[in-house]
Structure 1
């Protein structure tokens, strides 16, 4: 496997573009990125998710890919991320990111890692297909909206049901989907489901809050609305810090 820790390509200096903006960006990114609850890998995944959702695939994407390489996030990991978020970001947005990533791999002299194709049962539709791992409560909501749409979501869930090496951890999946909700402001059912998934994976409320805090750098007003939605969902669902329960 290629050692990616020292691979870099020349990137423009923000200070040469605009020194005042460089000051503002550095201070903002440093503050938002200082949350201790998220790992370096999780922060890389969230930066790249923001790039795809907002289609910032030029300098920001290149910076975040190279930053990921420096902390051990390979382009194979990034490809796994792009596959996973494609159903929420839209396949067209993910395709543009794959195109850009392929360009960066060529510029950095990286080889594409071999992958194993999904079994036919996971990409098939119609009678007799593999069951969907989607929670029945979520599927009931979708079926009420439209049966065809529910089947589409069944397909998406099957294709993303694989776990283990080369895939994202459940906690990472939850944080990424929470972030997509923030970028697209889909702060109702999906934001609540994705936040609950994070909590079910072992994340604490402080870990979940860290996702919101970290994402402020990608749009403060979107984060503002996301915080309002989070507090409303927390009150309705009874998400309470353990120490608060203990004190009560």
Structure 2
């Protein structure tokens, strides 16, 4: 990540605040259920959702790169999270990241089409039916967004990672009803255990403890349901 700014050390600005920040970061970074890659993704997602694109964003990106997360991984995260946080917010992250333009293959025409030549929607039928009840055009928007995020290969996020990132967006925006339930289910289907989902909430507490509090109430109810617990079993 490049920058032309010379940022003062946090300890120079406020040594007590720096001490509080370091203690908090050390506590949540020690959460064992999440990988360094997942912690980077959750941190950058929080930065984008909360428009925190200053020194914290830079520190999170640099920490990820130091832990072996590639620039391609971070770019893929920003592309993916734009679905839920909005393209305007994700675009600010793409601009701020300051990395060289990637050598990426463009998406296939059928993935960006909304006409008769479009690829089938990858949305689960139950989810698509629920969205279609709200508005047909909105359902078409969901289809398009889902088609553009169907890749699973080098430089893409795993289903577990997508689920943990998506449910974290819900925590930041406090959308803790249907979408939160769907995203928790996605993480479980991707191989995350209920304890892994709880670990994501523990990690997100650093980005707003009151938001995490409300999310805990929602996720404990979701995970207590037998249908949700069965979603974590391999299929």
TM-score, normalised by the number of residues in structure 2: 0.92
- Equivalent position of 1:28 in the other structure: 24
Distance 1:240 1:77 in 2: 30
Q: Identify which of 125, 128, 150 aligns with 2:139.
A: 150
Tell me the equivalent position of 2:233.
Answer: none
Q: Which residues of 2 match residues 82-121 of structure 1 at below 5 A?
A: 82-102=78-98, 105=99, 111-121=100-110
Q: What CA deviation, in whole Å up to 9, does each residue of 1:77-103 have, x standing for no partner?
A: 11110000111110000111111112x
What residue in structure 2 maps to residue 207 of structure 1? 196
> Please, which of 130, 138, 150 is the counterpart of residue 119 of structure 2?
130
| Number of corresponding residues | 227
Please tell me whether residue 58 in structure 1 is matched to residue 54 in structure 2: yes
Do the aligned partners of residues 60 and 189 (structure 1) sit closer, same or farther apart at CA in structure 2, a change above 3 Å counting?
same
Structure 1 contact 123–158 (Cα < 8 Å) conserved: yes
| Contact in 1 for aligned 2:78/2:90 (Cα 8 Å) | yes
Task: Give 5+ residue unaligned stretches, structure 2.
Answer: 231-235
Q: Which runs of 4+ in 1 moved over 6 A?
A: none
SS state at 2:69 partner: coil
Contact 1:133/1:161 (CA < 8 Å) preserved in 2? yes
- Distance in 1 (alpha carbons) for counterparts of 2:146 and 2:117: 16
CA RMSD in angstroms comes to 1.7
In 2, Cα distance between the equivalents of 1:118 and 1:179? 26
Tell me what 1:77 maps to: 73
> Distance in 1 between the 2:194 and 2:83 partners?
26
> Do the aligned residues in 1 keep the contact of 2:163 with 2:187 (CA within 8 Å)?
yes
Query: Residue by residue, what CA displacement relative to the aligned partner does 1:87-143 show, whole Å, maximum 9, x if unpaired?
Result: 1110000111111112xx3xxxxx433100000000000234210100000001101
User: Displacement, 1:11?
Assistant: 4.8
Unpaired segments ≥5 residues, structure 1: 106-110, 242-248
